Amino acid sequence: MTRRMLIAGNWKMHGLRSDLGFFDQLEPQAALAAAAGVDVLVCPPATLLAPVAGHCGDSAILIGAQDCHTNSSGAHTGDVSAGMVRDAGAGYVILGHSERRSDHGETSALVCAKAEAAIMAGLIPIICVGETREQREAGEAFGIVGAQLAASLPAAARMAVIAYEPVWAIGTGLTASPSDVAQMHAFIRTRLPRPAGTRILYGGSVKPGNAGELMALDDVDGALVGGASLDIGQFGAIIDAAIHGCAAQ
């Protein structure tokens, strides 16, 4: 089964309405990427979901959120439901990012419940898994990632995307070696209910300088990009690497 490459930008807690011009610059490249078999996704903060979706209209740029609640509505001050995310114009949602797991104490069981809510609302969840440096150095990386995956992925998640993000490589400038990435992605694929059809992204200080090498690996179907997705030059170069990778296949 052919899997389309996916380059997803996670803007985290960055972005104002004054930044909407970014998408005017991104749109022509996103259209070229789509024609080449590469999906381009941007996940802005919740405050920008509707403005970005409205600004992008029917362009090739896909829009996603960075989180959602497990419930469809209720007394949950400050939270946003999956239905609200969908209503704002998003088609994807990042769930279980290491910053959510660490900053908010999110468990894999909670991530699974959020993924189920996302699927029910018509969203495609991007479920994040990854180990800390201490866990990797202790030889526990595969056990940790396997356990997170098993507990975070709903049984009905036919269209889910998996993002492997070694926690020690997020925002640090460090990147897992191609060998480490290849081994972990191959391991993750063996644990998936739909191994041939599920996209697995790599996330962890993805830059223009390493994107081509990473996305040339057999089981890497794209990237979850953090800081570099805020810069049109860097993000564009990463998208170019994915386009060239598809052309070389």
Residues known to be catalytic: 97, 165
| Residues in Cβ contact with 9 at an 8 Å cutoff, skipping those fewer than 6 apart | 41, 42, 43, 225, 229, 230, 235
Task: For the chain, give the number of residues.
Answer: 249
For the beta carbon of residue 232, count every other beta carbon within 10 angstroms: 15
Structure tokens at 82: 């999956």
User: Degrees (nearest 5) of the Cα angle 137, 139, 144?
Assistant: 105
DSSP letters along 67-110, please?
A: --BSSSSSS-TT--BHHHHHHTT-SEEEES-HHHHHHS---HHH
The Cα–Cα gap between 221 and 237 comes to 16
